[in-house]
């Protein structure tokens, strides 16, 4: 009988120890859940930053002047098979007002003077093909790949004008095309320029 008594005492001690262990595990889980909430808040903040970066180059969030942006493009072979490529674009210089008007007038005697209330604007851009799935075919780029966009939301029609060092050329993987594109713009318009890729959305740039 006395032996049975000691066995019951031992079982009771083991039972109490087991209950204490479960309580400790529950507290640890609660602490971990609390830490998890804090980590989720940090992740949300980082997500907002990443979303802002992903929207860079849109009309509402144009690329700051002088910065570089990478754009997806396509290169085509003689059989119209496409190859993925990436191109880095950087605006280098913007000339407008009387200086731009004089450059246009000096370049070709048949260039028209700007319409009343307008002025010529010349924008210098550098484009570098930074990657391509092909080494045998090139990407063709020219001044008509760019548009001038007014602050009011209109897209300017292209002006036919002869300018020096025009932006046009062929670039294989690693190649660079650099030069100017131009248009007539309303004086004092807070305009932006945009690159129009073959596929995908336009990429917008600040000009100052």
Q: What CATH code is carried by the domain that includes residue 166?
A: 2.60.40.1240
Is 72 contained in some domain?
yes
How many helices and strands (H and E) does the chain possess? 2, 9
Give the burial class of 120: count Cβ atoms within 10 A of its Cβ; 0-12 exposed, 13-18 middle, 19 or more buried.
buried
Is 149 contained in some domain?
yes
Is 61 contained in some domain?
no
The per-residue pLDDT for range 152-193, each reduced to its tens digit, is 999 999 999 999 999 999 999 999 999 999 999 999 999 999
State the residue range of the domain holding 188: 68-205
Residues 123, 179 within the same domain = yes
Q: Domain total for the chain? A: 2
- Whole-prediction pTM: 0.75
Q: Which of 140, 171, 144, 168 is nearest to 156 (CA)?
A: 144
DSSP 74-105: EEE-TT--EEEEEEEEEEEEEEETHHHHHHHH
Distance, CA of 102 to CA of 113 (rounded, Å): 9
Q: What is the pLDDT of residue 46?
A: 57
Distance, CA of 128 to CA of 132 (rounded, Å): 11
The per-residue pLDDT for range 58-68, each reduced to its tens digit, is 999 999 999 99
For residues 133-137, give the mean pLDDT: 98
Residues 201, 139 within the same domain = yes
């Amino acid at each position: 009988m006395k032996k049975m008594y000691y066995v019951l005492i031992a079982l009771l001690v083991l039972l109490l120890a087991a209950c204490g262990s479960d309580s400790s595990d529950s507290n640890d889980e609660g602490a971990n859940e609390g830490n998890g909430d804090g980590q989720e808040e940090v992740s949300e903040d980082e997500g907002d930053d990443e979303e802002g970066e992903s929207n860079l180059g849109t009309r509402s969030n144009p690329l700051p002047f002088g910065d570089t942006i990478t754009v997806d493009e396509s290169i085509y072979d003689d059989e119209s098979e496409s190859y993925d490529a990436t191109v880095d674009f950087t605006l280098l210089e913007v000339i407008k007002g009387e200086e731009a008007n004089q450059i246009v007038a000096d370049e070709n005697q048949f260039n028209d003077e700007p319409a009343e209330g307008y002025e010529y604007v010349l924008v210098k851009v550098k484009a570098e093909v930074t990657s391509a799935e092909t080494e045998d075919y090139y990407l063709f780029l020219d001044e008509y790949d760019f548009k001038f966009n007014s602050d009011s939301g209109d897209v300017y029609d292209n002006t036919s004008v002869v300018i020096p060092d025009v932006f046009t050329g062929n670039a294989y993987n690693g190649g660079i095309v650099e030069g100017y594109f131009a248009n007539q713009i309303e004086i004092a318009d807070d305009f932006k320029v945009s690159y129009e890729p073959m596929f995908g959305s336009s990429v917008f740039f600040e000009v100052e």
